[in-house]
Structure 1
Amino acid sequence: MTSFWDLKHQLSDAINSHDLQRVLDLYSPDAVYVSPAGVAEGHEQIGWIYEQFFKGFPDLHLTAWFEVEDSDNPAVTEWTITGTQTGPFLLPDGRELEPTGRHIVLRATCSTFVQNGKISTHREYYDQLELFVQLGLCLTKID
């Protein structure tokens, strides 16, 4: 039987290898993915979110540095996300950010909930403003 932590480690491996099908195989068909970028429901929407990161950051890599070992469900991990934006990246307002060549380093944490041997909910937390500043974007005044 696959443990919650086995699924979490498989997810990390699939993300680091940019294997979208393998990522989606770990999620239940009606899973929910929550992140600063928004809420995605089901394989199609969840896959779309991962695709945006894989396209924008072809070298995207997660490095786990802390796992809450006495927690099974959810499996909670803190990690560092790194990558270089060498591909187009979709911004929240619908614009596409052309490749900047900038390297990002984000601190993140996530909680992964499992039901019936699949990920039912994955909640990813990182500072979206930190991401955008590292990509060279800045806040503008709205009149």
Structure 2
Amino acid sequence: MTVRQFCQWMAPAAKPDHNQQLPEPLLNEGSARALIGRRRAMDIRSTLTDLSDAFNAHDLDRIMALFADDCILEMPRGSAPWGARFEGKASVRQALASRFEGLPDVHYGNGEHFVDASAKTGISKWTLTGTTRDGLQKEVHGCDFYTFRDGKVIRKDSYWKIVE
């Protein structure tokens, strides 16, 4: 269907003015990319907030619902330069469960979230507080580097300050 046919079909009684300037599109290619980037950033930021809330609720089901099946968790302590690495949803879940067991009242406060939507990454900065099973109080600053694919976490790489 030509533009003329379309105009006649939409308004058969009106005569189309073929010299009339068509309006500029609401989104050009650059602004469309910017809009998509902002939407991705908002999605990642909301996922980071959801993760923080789920961690503070100690809700492993909610946490793991935000992780991909092939996810990787890297914790600061371990025998390798990257700390301890856990691969796959079941392994990651078990590692996180042990975190909650070791610090039953663990809380991640003062949360700040940063997003690089083009790299599909986000950072959550926090202050961890909690009490070990032996009664030792912990307070440490740290951050998590997240990588996302299709709205799910595929990597969580954790860092925290060493308190001596």
Aligned counterpart in structure 1 of residue 122 of structure 2, from 75, 80, 83:
75
Q: Answer yes or no: is the 8 Å Cα contact 2:127–2:142 preserved in 1.
A: yes
Answer yes or no: is 1:85 the counterpart of 2:132.
Answer: yes
Question: Amino acid of the residue matched to residue 107 of structure 1?
Answer: H
The offset of 1:65, in angstroms, is 4.0
More helix by share: 2
State the match for 1:39 in structure 2: 85
State the match for 1:101 in structure 2: 135
Q: Which whole-Å CA distance do the structure 2 matches of 1:51 and 1:79 have between them?
A: 19
Q: Which whole-Å CA distance do the structure 1 matches of 2:65 and 2:135 have between them?
A: 31
Q: Which runs of 4+ in 1 moved over 4 A?
A: none
The offset of 1:9, in angstroms, is 1.0
> How many pairs does the alignment contain?
116
Q: Which whole-Å CA distance do the structure 1 matches of 2:144 and 2:160 have between them?
A: 9
- Identity among equivalent positions (%) equals 24
State the match for 2:65 in structure 1: 25
Greater mean deviation of Cα atoms: 16-25 or 72-81: 72-81
Question: Amino acid of the residue matched to residue 29 of structure 1?
Answer: D
- Give the unaligned 5+ runs of structure 2: 1-38, 78-83
State the match for 2:97 in structure 1: 51
State the match for 2:160 in structure 1: 126
The offset of 1:106, in angstroms, is 0.9
Q: Which whole-Å CA distance do the structure 2 matches of 1:116 and 1:66 have between them?
A: 23
Answer yes or no: is 1:7 the counterpart of 2:47.
Answer: yes
Structure 1, residues 31-87: CA drift from partner, whole Å, max 9, x if none? 111121311111111111111111111110001343335x3331112110110112x
Aligned partner of residue 18 in structure 1, secondary structure:
coil
What RMSD over aligned residues (CA atoms) do the two structures have, in Å? 1.8
With the length of structure 2 as denominator, give the TM-score of the two structures: 0.65
Question: Amino acid of the residue matched to residue 9 of structure 1?
Answer: T
Q: Which whole-Å CA distance do the structure 1 matches of 2:76 and 2:69 have between them?
A: 22
Q: Which whole-Å CA distance do the structure 2 matches of 1:29 and 1:64 have between them?
A: 29
State the match for 2:146 in structure 1: 112
The offset of 1:17, in angstroms, is 0.5
Q: Which whole-Å CA distance do the structure 2 matches of 1:76 and 1:39 have between them?
A: 18
- Between the two structures, name the one with larger relative contact order (CA 8 Å, sep ≥ 6): 1
